[in-house]
Amino acid sequence: MEIFSKDSKRGFTLIELLVVIAIIGLLASIILVSLGGARNKAKDARIINNMSQMRTQAAIISYNTGSYNTIRCGAAGDINIRTLCGDIADQGGRKPWNDEPGLQIVRSPSPVDRYCAKVKLNSGKFWCVDYELRSTGYDANPSCKGGASPIYTCE
């Protein structure tokens, strides 16, 4: 007794193939959605690392020059600080006060020489570094305290 005749064709029907493709597409979309959160966490980790490097670079600048004057993201800033600022913006870091790409650096006026830098992460939380070598995360936008007697620390 012959199970398959010579004329019978073995294979999948069009509907079976479409169902399999639809299932694969559905699984792929679920995986891509879950990877989006992992990407944002990785970007936030890189921003935090850059902020810590900025804190270290600021300490080196202060040691070499006696001032934090070049702790800026603009053209007048130290090249290493500008590079870190650019990478923070590229990773999705936002300025806390207007949500534009980048970070906020607050420097005290002379003769008091202090600074505070903060950024809004992709998660919506904030990260702040200051002249006292703090590097801390916050749920709400921290203030870089200042006033008649400037403090300029993350609070």
48-105 pLDDT, tens digit each: 999 999 999 999 988 998 888 888 888 888 899 999 999 999 999 999 888 899 888 8
What pLDDT sits at residue 25? 95
Percentage of residues in the chain with pLDDT exceeding 70? Answer: 88
Higher pLDDT, 110 or 64: 64
- Residue 1: pLDDT band (50, 70, 90) is low
- Residue 21: pLDDT band (50, 70, 90) is very high
Predicted model pTM: 0.76
Average pLDDT over residues 132-142: 89
CA separation for the pair 21, 10 (Å, rounded) = 19
The secondary structure of the chain as a DSSP string is: --SS-TT---S--HHHHHHHHHHHHHHHHHHHHHHHHHHHHHHHHHHHHHHHHHHHHHHHHHHHHSS-TT--SSTTS-HHHHHHHHHHHHTT-B-TTT--BS-EEEEPPTTS--EEEEEE-TTS-EEEEETT--EEEESS---B--SSS----B-
